[in-house]
Structure 1
Amino acid sequence: MKHHFPEATLHPSASNDQGLLSVPFGRQFIWIPKETLSKKELLLFQMREGDRQKNIDHQAHPWYPILFDHQPVSSPNMYRFIHVHFTKVIDGLQSEWLAEIQQMLPAVVDLFFIYDNQAVIVEAHSGENLRVEDLDGLFVALDMDFDCYSQLFVGPFHRSEHDFTQLWEEEATFYYEVLQLRKHQKSLDLPTGLSTLFISGAKPYLALLRTLYLDWFEEETETIIRALWQHQGNASSTAKALFMHRNSLLYKIDKFQTATNLNLKIMDDLLLGYFLCQTFSTHTD
Protein backbone atom coordinates (compact mmCIF):
# COMPACT_ATOMS: atom_id res chain seq x y z
CA MET A 1 0.00 0.00 0.00
CA LYS A 2 2.79 2.44 0.96
CA HIS A 3 4.55 1.72 -2.33
CA HIS A 4 1.49 2.65 -4.40
CA PHE A 5 0.26 5.46 -2.12
CA PRO A 6 3.31 7.08 -0.46
CA GLU A 7 1.16 9.80 1.18
CA ALA A 8 -0.90 7.17 3.05
CA THR A 9 -0.66 7.04 6.85
CA LEU A 10 -2.00 4.52 9.40
CA HIS A 11 -4.29 5.67 12.23
CA PRO A 12 -6.42 4.04 14.97
CA SER A 13 -9.66 5.69 13.78
CA ALA A 14 -11.29 7.14 10.67
CA SER A 15 -10.60 10.75 9.73
CA ASN A 16 -13.23 13.51 9.95
CA ASP A 17 -11.39 15.53 7.29
CA GLN A 18 -13.43 15.58 4.04
CA GLY A 19 -10.18 15.83 2.11
CA LEU A 20 -8.99 12.47 3.41
CA LEU A 21 -10.22 9.02 2.46
CA SER A 22 -10.31 6.54 5.36
CA VAL A 23 -9.78 2.96 4.26
CA PRO A 24 -10.40 0.17 6.83
CA PHE A 25 -7.26 -1.91 7.43
CA GLY A 26 -7.72 -4.58 10.08
CA ARG A 27 -8.70 -2.67 13.24
CA GLN A 28 -7.09 0.54 11.99
CA PHE A 29 -7.60 3.00 9.13
CA ILE A 30 -5.38 4.16 6.32
CA TRP A 31 -5.72 7.87 5.56
CA ILE A 32 -5.11 8.91 1.96
CA PRO A 33 -5.40 12.50 0.66
CA LYS A 34 -8.15 12.44 -1.99
CA GLU A 35 -6.25 14.93 -4.14
CA THR A 36 -3.49 12.36 -4.67
CA LEU A 37 -5.90 9.75 -6.08
CA SER A 38 -6.96 9.40 -9.67
CA LYS A 39 -10.68 9.38 -10.45
CA LYS A 40 -10.51 5.63 -10.99
CA GLU A 41 -8.69 4.98 -7.69
CA LEU A 42 -11.13 7.15 -5.76
CA LEU A 43 -14.13 5.37 -7.26
CA LEU A 44 -12.69 1.95 -6.44
CA PHE A 45 -12.00 2.94 -2.83
CA GLN A 46 -15.47 4.47 -2.46
CA MET A 47 -17.02 1.22 -3.68
CA ARG A 48 -15.45 -0.50 -0.70
CA GLU A 49 -15.83 2.25 1.88
CA GLY A 50 -17.72 1.14 4.96
CA ASP A 51 -18.03 -2.49 3.85
CA ARG A 52 -16.47 -5.48 5.53
CA GLN A 53 -14.09 -7.30 3.20
CA LYS A 54 -14.57 -11.06 3.03
CA ASN A 55 -11.83 -13.60 3.70
CA ILE A 56 -11.51 -15.54 0.44
CA ASP A 57 -10.13 -19.08 0.29
CA HIS A 58 -7.89 -18.90 -2.79
CA GLN A 59 -7.92 -22.67 -3.26
CA ALA A 60 -11.71 -22.83 -3.21
CA HIS A 61 -11.94 -19.72 -5.41
CA PRO A 62 -9.13 -19.81 -8.01
CA TRP A 63 -10.46 -16.71 -9.76
CA TYR A 64 -9.72 -14.46 -6.78
CA PRO A 65 -5.98 -14.13 -7.60
CA ILE A 66 -6.87 -13.84 -11.29
CA LEU A 67 -9.08 -10.84 -10.55
CA PHE A 68 -6.97 -9.20 -7.87
CA ASP A 69 -3.37 -10.34 -8.34
CA HIS A 70 -2.81 -10.45 -12.13
CA GLN A 71 -2.66 -14.25 -12.19
CA PRO A 72 -3.13 -15.83 -15.66
CA VAL A 73 -6.18 -17.90 -16.61
CA SER A 74 -5.30 -21.60 -16.83
CA SER A 75 -8.23 -22.77 -19.00
CA PRO A 76 -8.42 -21.11 -22.44
CA ASN A 77 -11.92 -19.82 -23.15
CA MET A 78 -13.86 -16.57 -23.08
CA TYR A 79 -15.16 -15.35 -19.73
CA ARG A 80 -17.39 -12.60 -18.43
CA PHE A 81 -18.06 -11.04 -15.04
CA ILE A 82 -21.48 -10.47 -13.59
CA HIS A 83 -21.01 -7.76 -10.98
CA VAL A 84 -23.68 -7.92 -8.27
CA HIS A 85 -24.30 -4.96 -5.97
CA PHE A 86 -26.69 -5.25 -3.02
CA THR A 87 -28.55 -2.22 -1.70
CA LYS A 88 -30.31 -4.55 0.73
CA VAL A 89 -27.84 -7.26 1.76
CA ILE A 90 -28.46 -10.95 2.32
CA ASP A 91 -28.68 -11.67 6.02
CA GLY A 92 -26.77 -14.86 6.88
CA LEU A 93 -27.69 -16.74 3.69
CA GLN A 94 -24.80 -15.87 1.40
CA SER A 95 -23.70 -19.50 0.95
CA GLU A 96 -27.23 -20.54 0.01
CA TRP A 97 -27.49 -17.64 -2.45
CA LEU A 98 -24.23 -18.66 -4.12
CA ALA A 99 -25.38 -22.28 -4.36
CA GLU A 100 -28.63 -21.17 -5.99
CA ILE A 101 -26.73 -19.13 -8.59
CA GLN A 102 -24.42 -22.07 -9.32
CA GLN A 103 -27.43 -24.27 -9.97
CA MET A 104 -29.21 -21.74 -12.20
CA LEU A 105 -26.15 -20.79 -14.27
CA PRO A 106 -24.28 -23.96 -15.24
CA ALA A 107 -21.50 -22.06 -17.08
CA VAL A 108 -20.32 -20.41 -13.83
CA VAL A 109 -16.67 -21.26 -13.09
CA ASP A 110 -16.38 -19.28 -9.85
CA LEU A 111 -18.45 -16.97 -7.67
CA PHE A 112 -17.94 -15.37 -4.28
CA PHE A 113 -18.70 -12.34 -2.13
CA ILE A 114 -15.98 -9.70 -2.03
CA TYR A 115 -17.81 -7.54 0.49
CA ASP A 116 -21.14 -7.96 2.24
CA ASN A 117 -22.74 -5.84 -0.48
CA GLN A 118 -20.72 -7.04 -3.48
CA ALA A 119 -20.42 -10.38 -5.23
CA VAL A 120 -18.83 -11.46 -8.48
CA ILE A 121 -19.93 -14.27 -10.78
CA VAL A 122 -17.42 -15.51 -13.36
CA GLU A 123 -19.02 -17.27 -16.29
CA ALA A 124 -17.42 -19.15 -19.19
CA HIS A 125 -18.73 -18.71 -22.72
CA SER A 126 -20.97 -21.68 -23.52
CA GLY A 127 -23.26 -20.49 -26.30
CA GLU A 128 -26.19 -20.73 -23.88
CA ASN A 129 -25.37 -17.83 -21.56
CA LEU A 130 -28.36 -15.76 -20.53
CA ARG A 131 -28.87 -12.28 -21.92
CA VAL A 132 -29.15 -9.33 -19.56
CA GLU A 133 -32.97 -9.23 -19.75
CA ASP A 134 -33.15 -12.93 -18.78
CA LEU A 135 -30.71 -12.44 -15.91
CA ASP A 136 -32.82 -9.51 -14.76
CA GLY A 137 -35.83 -11.79 -14.26
CA LEU A 138 -33.74 -14.44 -12.54
CA PHE A 139 -32.34 -11.97 -10.00
CA VAL A 140 -35.77 -10.48 -9.33
CA ALA A 141 -36.91 -13.96 -8.29
CA LEU A 142 -33.79 -14.47 -6.15
CA ASP A 143 -34.36 -11.15 -4.40
CA MET A 144 -37.82 -12.30 -3.40
CA ASP A 145 -36.54 -15.67 -2.17
CA PHE A 146 -33.71 -14.18 -0.10
CA ASP A 147 -35.39 -10.93 1.02
CA CYS A 148 -32.67 -8.76 -0.51
CA TYR A 149 -32.29 -6.30 -3.38
CA SER A 150 -29.55 -6.75 -5.95
CA GLN A 151 -28.42 -4.81 -9.00
CA LEU A 152 -26.14 -6.25 -11.64
CA PHE A 153 -23.78 -5.28 -14.41
CA VAL A 154 -23.37 -7.99 -17.04
CA GLY A 155 -19.96 -7.53 -18.61
CA PRO A 156 -18.87 -8.61 -22.09
CA PHE A 157 -16.91 -11.80 -22.74
CA HIS A 158 -13.10 -11.52 -22.77
CA ARG A 159 -10.50 -13.90 -24.18
CA SER A 160 -8.50 -15.74 -21.54
CA GLU A 161 -5.09 -14.32 -22.56
CA HIS A 162 -5.93 -10.83 -21.27
CA ASP A 163 -5.04 -9.34 -17.88
CA PHE A 164 -8.26 -9.98 -15.99
CA THR A 165 -7.21 -7.87 -13.01
CA GLN A 166 -7.11 -4.81 -15.25
CA LEU A 167 -10.38 -5.77 -16.93
CA TRP A 168 -12.05 -6.34 -13.55
CA GLU A 169 -10.94 -2.97 -12.19
CA GLU A 170 -12.04 -1.14 -15.34
CA GLU A 171 -15.45 -2.82 -15.35
CA ALA A 172 -15.99 -2.28 -11.62
CA THR A 173 -15.13 1.41 -11.94
CA PHE A 174 -17.32 1.76 -15.02
CA TYR A 175 -20.26 0.07 -13.28
CA TYR A 176 -19.92 2.20 -10.15
CA GLU A 177 -19.88 5.38 -12.22
CA VAL A 178 -22.93 4.35 -14.24
CA LEU A 179 -24.74 3.24 -11.08
CA GLN A 180 -24.51 6.80 -9.73
CA LEU A 181 -26.57 7.91 -12.75
CA ARG A 182 -29.01 4.98 -12.90
CA LYS A 183 -29.40 4.17 -9.23
CA HIS A 184 -32.75 2.42 -9.61
CA GLN A 185 -32.06 0.27 -12.67
CA LYS A 186 -31.97 -3.43 -11.89
CA SER A 187 -29.65 -4.62 -14.67
CA LEU A 188 -27.07 -2.94 -16.87
CA ASP A 189 -24.69 -4.02 -19.58
CA LEU A 190 -21.89 -2.27 -21.48
CA PRO A 191 -24.02 -0.72 -24.27
CA THR A 192 -26.58 0.63 -21.79
CA GLY A 193 -23.84 1.95 -19.54
CA LEU A 194 -21.96 3.66 -22.37
CA SER A 195 -25.09 5.42 -23.59
CA THR A 196 -25.73 6.58 -20.01
CA LEU A 197 -22.24 8.10 -19.70
CA PHE A 198 -22.59 9.61 -23.18
CA ILE A 199 -25.83 11.30 -22.15
CA SER A 200 -24.26 12.46 -18.87
CA GLY A 201 -21.39 14.07 -20.79
CA ALA A 202 -23.85 16.19 -22.78
CA LYS A 203 -25.22 17.97 -19.69
CA PRO A 204 -23.68 21.38 -20.57
CA TYR A 205 -25.74 21.39 -23.78
CA LEU A 206 -29.08 20.11 -22.50
CA ALA A 207 -31.00 23.30 -23.31
CA LEU A 208 -29.90 23.16 -26.93
CA LEU A 209 -30.59 19.43 -27.25
CA ARG A 210 -33.96 19.63 -25.52
CA THR A 211 -35.02 22.33 -27.97
CA LEU A 212 -34.13 20.07 -30.89
CA TYR A 213 -36.10 17.22 -29.35
CA LEU A 214 -39.18 19.36 -28.80
CA ASP A 215 -39.00 20.82 -32.31
CA TRP A 216 -38.27 17.61 -34.20
CA PHE A 217 -40.04 14.68 -32.61
CA GLU A 218 -43.52 13.25 -32.48
CA GLU A 219 -44.43 9.86 -31.04
CA GLU A 220 -44.43 8.14 -34.45
CA THR A 221 -41.02 9.63 -35.27
CA GLU A 222 -39.57 8.24 -32.04
CA THR A 223 -40.99 4.81 -32.82
CA ILE A 224 -39.38 4.86 -36.27
CA ILE A 225 -36.01 6.02 -34.93
CA ARG A 226 -35.91 3.37 -32.21
CA ALA A 227 -36.83 0.66 -34.71
CA LEU A 228 -34.19 1.89 -37.19
CA TRP A 229 -31.60 1.85 -34.42
CA GLN A 230 -32.51 -1.70 -33.41
CA HIS A 231 -32.19 -2.82 -37.04
CA GLN A 232 -28.91 -0.96 -37.73
CA GLY A 233 -30.61 1.47 -40.11
CA ASN A 234 -31.97 -1.27 -42.38
CA ALA A 235 -35.18 0.11 -43.89
CA SER A 236 -36.61 -3.25 -44.97
CA SER A 237 -36.17 -4.87 -41.54
CA THR A 238 -37.49 -1.76 -39.82
CA ALA A 239 -40.59 -1.59 -42.02
CA LYS A 240 -41.29 -5.26 -41.35
CA ALA A 241 -40.93 -4.77 -37.59
CA LEU A 242 -43.32 -1.80 -37.71
CA PHE A 243 -45.82 -3.61 -39.96
CA MET A 244 -45.35 -0.80 -42.46
CA HIS A 245 -44.76 -0.81 -46.21
CA ARG A 246 -41.12 -0.03 -47.00
CA ASN A 247 -42.06 2.84 -49.33
CA SER A 248 -44.22 4.36 -46.60
CA LEU A 249 -41.29 4.22 -44.19
CA LEU A 250 -38.93 5.82 -46.72
CA TYR A 251 -41.48 8.57 -47.34
CA LYS A 252 -41.65 9.35 -43.61
CA ILE A 253 -37.83 9.34 -43.39
CA ASP A 254 -37.58 11.76 -46.33
CA LYS A 255 -40.29 13.98 -44.85
CA PHE A 256 -38.40 14.08 -41.54
CA GLN A 257 -35.20 15.03 -43.40
CA THR A 258 -36.98 17.88 -45.19
CA ALA A 259 -38.21 19.26 -41.87
CA THR A 260 -35.01 18.80 -39.83
CA ASN A 261 -32.14 18.28 -42.30
CA LEU A 262 -31.44 15.05 -40.39
CA ASN A 263 -31.00 12.07 -42.72
CA LEU A 264 -31.90 8.91 -40.80
CA LYS A 265 -30.31 6.81 -43.55
CA ILE A 266 -26.91 8.04 -42.30
CA MET A 267 -25.76 6.39 -39.07
CA ASP A 268 -24.32 9.57 -37.52
CA ASP A 269 -27.67 11.32 -38.02
CA LEU A 270 -29.54 8.29 -36.72
CA LEU A 271 -27.28 8.25 -33.66
CA LEU A 272 -28.19 11.87 -32.90
CA GLY A 273 -31.88 11.11 -33.27
CA TYR A 274 -31.62 8.04 -31.04
CA PHE A 275 -29.58 9.97 -28.48
CA LEU A 276 -32.27 12.68 -28.27
CA CYS A 277 -34.99 10.06 -27.83
CA GLN A 278 -33.06 8.30 -25.09
CA THR A 279 -32.30 11.55 -23.29
CA PHE A 280 -35.63 13.33 -23.35
CA SER A 281 -38.40 10.84 -24.11
CA THR A 282 -40.87 10.12 -21.32
CA HIS A 283 -40.87 6.52 -22.57
CA THR A 284 -37.17 6.03 -21.75
CA ASP A 285 -36.32 4.00 -18.62
Structure 2
Amino acid sequence: MDFSKLKKLYPESTLSKHPFMEEDTLRIPYKNQWIHIPKKSLDDKEISILNLLKEEIQPDTFPASQSKWFNFMEGNREYPPQTTHPVRLIQLVLEKMDDQFDYSIWIDSITHLFEPVLDVFFVTQDACYIIQDNTSQTLTQEEIYGMLKTLEDDFSIRTNAYIGQFWSPDNSLKAILKEEQRIFQEEVSHLHDRICSLSDVALRYFTKGALSRSTLMQELKKQLDEQPDWKELILALWTSQGNISVAAKQLFIHRNTLQYRMDRFYETTGLSLRNMNDLLLCYLLVL
Protein backbone atom coordinates (compact mmCIF):
# COMPACT_ATOMS: atom_id res chain seq x y z
CA MET A 1 0.00 0.00 0.00
CA ASP A 2 1.17 3.52 -0.84
CA PHE A 3 0.21 6.21 1.67
CA SER A 4 0.40 8.97 -0.94
CA LYS A 5 -2.31 7.23 -2.98
CA LEU A 6 -4.49 6.73 0.09
CA LYS A 7 -3.97 10.42 0.95
CA LYS A 8 -5.52 11.38 -2.40
CA LEU A 9 -8.62 9.35 -1.55
CA TYR A 10 -8.76 10.61 2.03
CA PRO A 11 -7.14 14.08 2.25
CA GLU A 12 -7.78 14.24 6.03
CA SER A 13 -5.63 11.15 6.65
CA THR A 14 -2.34 11.65 8.51
CA LEU A 15 0.79 9.62 9.18
CA SER A 16 2.02 9.38 12.76
CA LYS A 17 4.48 7.46 14.90
CA HIS A 18 1.75 7.20 17.54
CA PRO A 19 -1.11 4.68 17.47
CA PHE A 20 -3.59 7.06 19.09
CA MET A 21 -4.78 10.54 18.15
CA GLU A 22 -6.99 13.10 19.90
CA GLU A 23 -9.86 12.48 17.51
CA ASP A 24 -11.48 9.12 16.81
CA THR A 25 -9.62 7.57 13.88
CA LEU A 26 -9.37 4.34 11.96
CA ARG A 27 -5.77 3.19 12.36
CA ILE A 28 -3.81 1.24 9.76
CA PRO A 29 -0.19 0.09 10.42
CA TYR A 30 2.23 1.40 7.79
CA LYS A 31 6.02 1.00 7.78
CA ASN A 32 6.43 1.12 11.59
CA GLN A 33 4.04 4.08 11.71
CA TRP A 34 0.28 4.54 11.70
CA ILE A 35 -2.07 5.93 9.11
CA HIS A 36 -4.97 7.76 10.79
CA ILE A 37 -8.22 8.44 8.95
CA PRO A 38 -10.86 10.40 10.92
CA LYS A 39 -13.91 8.16 11.30
CA LYS A 40 -16.22 11.14 10.86
CA SER A 41 -15.08 11.28 7.21
CA LEU A 42 -15.93 7.59 6.58
CA ASP A 43 -19.22 5.80 6.06
CA ASP A 44 -19.91 2.28 7.37
CA LYS A 45 -19.02 0.62 4.07
CA GLU A 46 -15.67 2.43 3.86
CA ILE A 47 -14.84 1.46 7.45
CA SER A 48 -15.59 -2.20 6.66
CA ILE A 49 -13.41 -2.13 3.53
CA LEU A 50 -10.52 -0.42 5.30
CA ASN A 51 -10.74 -2.89 8.19
CA LEU A 52 -10.40 -5.73 5.68
CA LEU A 53 -7.33 -3.98 4.27
CA LYS A 54 -5.95 -3.61 7.79
CA GLU A 55 -6.36 -7.34 8.41
CA GLU A 56 -4.45 -8.11 5.22
CA ILE A 57 -1.59 -5.83 6.25
CA GLN A 58 -1.36 -6.96 9.86
CA PRO A 59 -3.55 -9.89 10.90
CA ASP A 60 -4.95 -9.93 14.40
CA THR A 61 -2.15 -12.01 15.90
CA PHE A 62 -2.09 -10.70 19.46
CA PRO A 63 -3.47 -13.21 21.98
CA ALA A 64 -7.21 -12.91 22.60
CA SER A 65 -7.63 -12.07 26.25
CA GLN A 66 -9.73 -14.23 28.54
CA SER A 67 -8.93 -11.83 31.37
CA LYS A 68 -11.70 -11.06 33.83
CA TRP A 69 -10.24 -7.57 34.17
CA PHE A 70 -10.39 -7.10 30.39
CA ASN A 71 -14.02 -8.22 30.35
CA PHE A 72 -14.80 -5.88 33.23
CA MET A 73 -13.25 -2.87 31.48
CA GLU A 74 -14.98 -3.75 28.20
CA GLY A 75 -18.37 -3.79 29.94
CA ASN A 76 -18.88 -7.55 29.65
CA ARG A 77 -18.70 -8.00 33.40
CA GLU A 78 -20.63 -5.92 35.91
CA TYR A 79 -18.23 -6.14 38.83
CA PRO A 80 -14.41 -6.17 39.01
CA PRO A 81 -12.67 -9.44 39.92
CA GLN A 82 -12.69 -9.99 43.65
CA THR A 83 -10.13 -7.84 45.45
CA THR A 84 -10.16 -5.91 48.70
CA HIS A 85 -7.25 -3.63 47.81
CA PRO A 86 -7.14 -0.46 45.71
CA VAL A 87 -5.97 -1.19 42.16
CA ARG A 88 -4.26 0.75 39.40
CA LEU A 89 -4.00 0.47 35.63
CA ILE A 90 -0.60 0.81 33.93
CA GLN A 91 -0.97 1.35 30.18
CA LEU A 92 1.84 0.58 27.76
CA VAL A 93 1.82 1.52 24.08
CA LEU A 94 4.45 -0.36 22.09
CA GLU A 95 6.02 1.11 18.96
CA LYS A 96 7.93 -0.49 16.09
CA MET A 97 6.96 -4.07 16.76
CA ASP A 98 8.07 -6.34 13.93
CA ASP A 99 6.91 -9.77 12.81
CA GLN A 100 9.28 -11.40 15.28
CA PHE A 101 7.58 -9.88 18.32
CA ASP A 102 6.42 -12.64 20.70
CA TYR A 103 3.39 -11.59 22.74
CA SER A 104 3.52 -14.50 25.17
CA ILE A 105 7.18 -13.89 26.05
CA TRP A 106 6.44 -10.17 26.47
CA ILE A 107 3.53 -10.91 28.84
CA ASP A 108 5.71 -13.29 30.88
CA SER A 109 8.50 -10.71 31.05
CA ILE A 110 6.16 -7.91 32.14
CA THR A 111 4.53 -10.19 34.74
CA HIS A 112 7.89 -10.99 36.33
CA LEU A 113 9.20 -7.44 36.02
CA PHE A 114 6.20 -5.85 37.78
CA GLU A 115 5.50 -8.73 40.16
CA PRO A 116 3.14 -8.98 41.92
CA VAL A 117 0.45 -8.22 39.32
CA LEU A 118 -3.24 -9.09 39.17
CA ASP A 119 -3.22 -9.37 35.38
CA VAL A 120 -1.36 -8.49 32.16
CA PHE A 121 -3.16 -8.49 28.79
CA PHE A 122 -3.28 -6.84 25.35
CA VAL A 123 -6.31 -4.84 24.25
CA THR A 124 -4.90 -4.08 20.76
CA GLN A 125 -1.78 -5.20 18.94
CA ASP A 126 0.16 -2.32 20.45
CA ALA A 127 -1.54 -1.62 23.80
CA CYS A 128 -0.66 -3.73 26.84
CA TYR A 129 -2.37 -3.24 30.21
CA ILE A 130 -1.09 -4.15 33.66
CA ILE A 131 -3.42 -4.38 36.67
CA GLN A 132 -1.77 -4.08 40.10
CA ASP A 133 -3.05 -3.66 43.61
CA ASN A 134 -1.41 -1.54 46.29
CA THR A 135 0.38 -4.50 47.86
CA SER A 136 2.91 -4.24 45.02
CA GLN A 137 6.24 -2.51 45.49
CA THR A 138 6.07 1.27 45.25
CA LEU A 139 8.16 2.37 42.28
CA THR A 140 8.98 5.84 41.00
CA GLN A 141 8.41 6.78 37.37
CA GLU A 142 12.18 6.79 36.88
CA GLU A 143 12.43 3.22 38.21
CA ILE A 144 9.59 2.05 35.97
CA TYR A 145 11.23 3.73 32.99
CA GLY A 146 14.47 1.88 33.75
CA MET A 147 12.62 -1.44 33.92
CA LEU A 148 10.87 -0.84 30.61
CA LYS A 149 14.12 0.32 28.98
CA THR A 150 15.59 -3.10 29.73
CA LEU A 151 12.73 -4.80 27.90
CA GLU A 152 12.94 -2.32 25.01
CA ASP A 153 16.51 -3.41 24.33
CA ASP A 154 15.56 -7.09 24.54
CA PHE A 155 12.52 -6.79 22.26
CA SER A 156 13.81 -4.02 19.95
CA ILE A 157 10.80 -1.83 20.62
CA ARG A 158 9.94 1.52 22.18
CA THR A 159 7.33 1.96 24.91
CA ASN A 160 5.18 4.83 26.12
CA ALA A 161 3.61 4.38 29.54
CA TYR A 162 0.85 5.86 31.68
CA ILE A 163 1.05 5.04 35.38
CA GLY A 164 -2.46 5.19 36.82
CA GLN A 165 -3.54 6.11 40.32
CA PHE A 166 -4.68 3.51 42.84
CA TRP A 167 -8.49 3.38 43.03
CA SER A 168 -10.90 1.57 45.34
CA PRO A 169 -12.63 -1.39 43.64
CA ASP A 170 -16.12 0.11 44.01
CA ASN A 171 -18.95 1.02 41.64
CA SER A 172 -17.04 3.93 40.07
CA LEU A 173 -13.92 1.90 39.19
CA LYS A 174 -14.99 0.97 35.65
CA ALA A 175 -15.75 4.60 34.71
CA ILE A 176 -12.44 5.75 36.22
CA LEU A 177 -10.37 3.17 34.33
CA LYS A 178 -12.15 4.00 31.06
CA GLU A 179 -11.37 7.68 31.60
CA GLU A 180 -7.71 6.87 32.25
CA GLN A 181 -7.69 4.94 28.96
CA ARG A 182 -9.17 7.93 27.14
CA ILE A 183 -6.75 10.39 28.75
CA PHE A 184 -3.68 8.39 27.73
CA GLN A 185 -4.91 7.70 24.21
CA GLU A 186 -5.50 11.42 23.64
CA GLU A 187 -2.30 12.61 25.31
CA VAL A 188 0.30 10.01 24.28
CA SER A 189 1.23 11.92 21.12
CA HIS A 190 1.95 15.07 23.19
CA LEU A 191 4.22 13.54 25.83
CA HIS A 192 7.53 15.27 26.52
CA ASP A 193 8.72 12.11 28.28
CA ARG A 194 7.78 8.54 27.39
CA ILE A 195 6.35 7.82 30.81
CA CYS A 196 3.69 9.86 32.56
CA SER A 197 0.99 9.95 35.22
CA LEU A 198 -2.19 11.97 35.65
CA SER A 199 -0.37 15.01 37.02
CA ASP A 200 1.86 15.13 33.92
CA VAL A 201 -1.03 15.42 31.46
CA ALA A 202 -3.86 16.91 33.54
CA LEU A 203 -3.17 20.57 32.66
CA ARG A 204 -3.39 20.03 28.93
CA TYR A 205 -6.13 17.41 28.97
CA PHE A 206 -8.58 19.25 31.21
CA THR A 207 -8.02 22.72 29.75
CA LYS A 208 -7.65 22.08 26.00
CA GLY A 209 -11.41 22.24 25.37
CA ALA A 210 -11.81 25.65 26.98
CA LEU A 211 -8.66 26.96 25.27
CA SER A 212 -9.80 25.84 21.82
CA ARG A 213 -13.18 27.57 22.27
CA SER A 214 -11.66 30.91 23.28
CA THR A 215 -10.97 33.43 20.52
CA LEU A 216 -8.76 35.37 22.94
CA MET A 217 -6.62 32.35 23.81
CA GLN A 218 -6.32 31.26 20.20
CA GLU A 219 -5.06 34.72 19.26
CA LEU A 220 -2.42 34.52 21.99
CA LYS A 221 -1.47 31.03 20.80
CA LYS A 222 -1.11 32.37 17.27
CA GLN A 223 1.35 35.01 18.50
CA LEU A 224 3.45 32.36 20.26
CA ASP A 225 3.40 29.99 17.29
CA GLU A 226 4.79 32.73 15.04
CA GLN A 227 8.06 32.64 17.00
CA PRO A 228 9.34 29.01 17.06
CA ASP A 229 12.03 29.77 19.66
CA TRP A 230 9.45 30.89 22.20
CA LYS A 231 8.07 27.40 22.76
CA GLU A 232 11.52 26.12 23.68
CA LEU A 233 12.00 29.10 26.00
CA ILE A 234 8.65 28.58 27.75
CA LEU A 235 9.12 24.83 28.19
CA ALA A 236 12.61 25.27 29.64
CA LEU A 237 11.40 27.82 32.17
CA TRP A 238 8.36 25.71 33.07
CA THR A 239 10.31 22.49 33.62
CA SER A 240 12.80 24.41 35.78
CA GLN A 241 9.91 26.03 37.69
CA GLY A 242 11.10 29.50 36.70
CA ASN A 243 14.72 28.97 37.75
CA ILE A 244 16.66 31.07 35.22
CA SER A 245 20.04 29.41 35.84
CA VAL A 246 18.64 25.90 35.37
CA ALA A 247 16.65 26.92 32.29
CA ALA A 248 19.74 28.55 30.74
CA LYS A 249 21.67 25.30 31.18
CA GLN A 250 18.86 23.35 29.51
CA LEU A 251 18.96 25.74 26.56
CA PHE A 252 22.80 25.79 26.45
CA ILE A 253 22.87 29.58 26.63
CA HIS A 254 24.25 32.13 29.08
CA ARG A 255 21.97 33.31 31.89
CA ASN A 256 22.15 36.89 30.58
CA THR A 257 21.11 35.74 27.10
CA LEU A 258 18.07 34.02 28.60
CA GLN A 259 17.11 37.14 30.54
CA TYR A 260 17.41 39.19 27.35
CA ARG A 261 15.07 36.79 25.54
CA MET A 262 12.59 36.97 28.43
CA ASP A 263 12.64 40.77 28.25
CA ARG A 264 11.99 40.67 24.49
CA PHE A 265 9.15 38.21 25.07
CA TYR A 266 7.54 40.62 27.55
CA GLU A 267 7.92 43.58 25.20
CA THR A 268 6.19 41.64 22.42
CA THR A 269 3.42 39.83 24.31
CA GLY A 270 2.93 41.78 27.54
CA LEU A 271 3.40 38.50 29.45
CA SER A 272 6.27 38.14 31.90
CA LEU A 273 7.86 34.70 32.08
CA ARG A 274 9.22 35.71 35.49
CA ASN A 275 5.64 35.66 36.79
CA MET A 276 4.45 32.10 37.47
CA ASN A 277 0.85 32.89 36.47
CA ASP A 278 2.00 34.28 33.12
CA LEU A 279 4.37 31.34 32.68
CA LEU A 280 1.56 28.86 33.36
CA LEU A 281 -0.67 30.59 30.81
CA CYS A 282 2.07 30.44 28.16
CA TYR A 283 2.80 26.80 29.00
CA LEU A 284 -0.83 25.85 28.40
CA LEU A 285 -0.76 27.61 25.05
CA VAL A 286 2.30 25.75 23.74
CA LEU A 287 1.36 22.27 24.96
Instruction: State yes or no: 1:269 paired with 2:275.
Output: no
Aligned residues: 222
Contact 1:54 1:115 in 2 (8 A): no
SS at 1:159's partner residue?
coil
Instruction: State yes or no: 1:81 paired with 2:90.
Output: yes
- The Cα shift of 1:111 comes to 0.9
Any stretches of 5+ residues in structure 2 without a counterpart?
A: 1-41, 52-57, 250-257
Aligned partner letter, 2:64:
K
Instruction: State yes or no: 1:18 paired with 2:43.
Output: yes
Partner residue, 2:73: 67
- CA distance in 1 between partners of 2:224 and 2:263 (Å): 18
Change (3 A) 1:257 1:195: same
Q: Which of residues 216, 223, 226 is equivalent to 1:211?
A: 223
- CA distance in 2 between partners of 1:155 and 1:107 (Å): 16
Partner residue, 2:127: 118
Change (3 A) 1:274 1:80: same
Could you state the TM-score of these two structures normalised by the residue count of structure 2? 0.54
Partner residue, 2:19: none
Change (3 A) 1:66 1:117: same
Alignment of 1:127-206 (within 5 A): 128-131=138-141, 133-147=142-156, 149-162=157-170, 163-179=172-188, 181-182=189-190, 186-190=194-198, 191-192=200-201, 195=204, 202=212
Residues 244-272 of structure 1: per-residue CA shift (max 9 Å, x gap): 9xxxx999978865664324465442212
Change (3 A) 1:208 1:110: same
- The Cα shift of 1:157 comes to 0.7
Partner residue, 1:105: 114
Any stretches of 5+ residues in structure 1 without a counterpart?
A: 1-16, 24-28, 30-48, 280-285
- CA distance in 2 between partners of 1:208 and 1:254 (Å): 17
Contact 1:155 1:171 in 2 (8 A): no
Change (3 A) 1:182 1:87: farther
Residues 264-284 of structure 1: per-residue CA shift (max 9 Å, x gap): 4654422122235x45xxxxx
Contact 2:121 2:129 in 1 (8 A): yes
- The Cα shift of 1:176 comes to 2.8
- CA distance in 2 between partners of 1:182 and 1:228 (Å): 18
Q: Percent identity?
A: 22
Could you state the TM-score of these two structures normalised by the residue count of structure 1? 0.54
Residues 164-194 of structure 1: per-residue CA shift (max 9 Å, x gap): 3222322223333334x45998545442475
Greater mean alpha carbon deviation, residues 92-101 or residues 183-192 = 183-192
Aligned partner letter, 1:155:
I
- CA distance in 1 between partners of 2:219 and 2:95 (Å): 35
Contact 1:150 1:186 in 2 (8 A): no
Aligned partner letter, 1:67:
M
Q: Which has the larger radius of gyration?
A: 1
Change (3 A) 1:240 1:77: farther
- CA distance in 1 between partners of 2:87 and 2:149 (Å): 27
Contact 2:167 2:173 in 1 (8 A): no
- CA distance in 2 between partners of 1:19 and 1:243 (Å): 53
Change (3 A) 1:222 1:124: same
